[in-house]
Structure 1
């Protein structure tokens, strides 16, 4: 019995840690969306190549749109937990 209780406790702690990490990522994404939303129209935006230190010029509107979609996805994922 105690091993089953320990397993449940470990699962709860793991899920709690995952939720905390997801909440942190959601907060970061909200900042990204806010920053992109408040840029002047003529400002340049660069996106980073994954797993690299290379940045590429990107369209502000498309970057904002994809950032909003990512934020919505993370919020939905959090609600599903």
Structure 2
């Protein structure tokens, strides 16, 4: 087997693994959006601070909008692959 063939196989496996990871993240994000969509209006939502174990109270509708936007971006990135 030539080195070009091995490089192509490694590249294909890398892309495949990356697509699988993106699909997994998209599924997780869909669940987050569904959960936020189904919350009662008076429920509190907390957002975790990046790189920390600290959570802050957040607006439910604003959080839902951000999560939907992030899901759309993830789907777009997956299609661009």
Report the TM-score when normalising by structure 2.
0.98
Q: CA RMSD in A?
A: 0.8
Count of aligned pairs: 81
SS in 2 for 1:18: helix
Residue in 2 aligned with 1:27? 27
Unaligned ranges ≥5, structure 1: none
Deviates further, 1-10 or 37-46? 1-10
Tell me which stretches of 4 or more aligned residues in structure 1 moved more than 2 Å.
none
Report the TM-score when normalising by structure 1.
0.98
* Superposition deviation, residue 15 in structure 1: 0.3
Unaligned ranges ≥5, structure 2: none
Residue in 2 aligned with 1:55? 55
Cα distance in 2 for partners of 1:51, 1:23 equals 23
SS in 1 for 2:56: strand
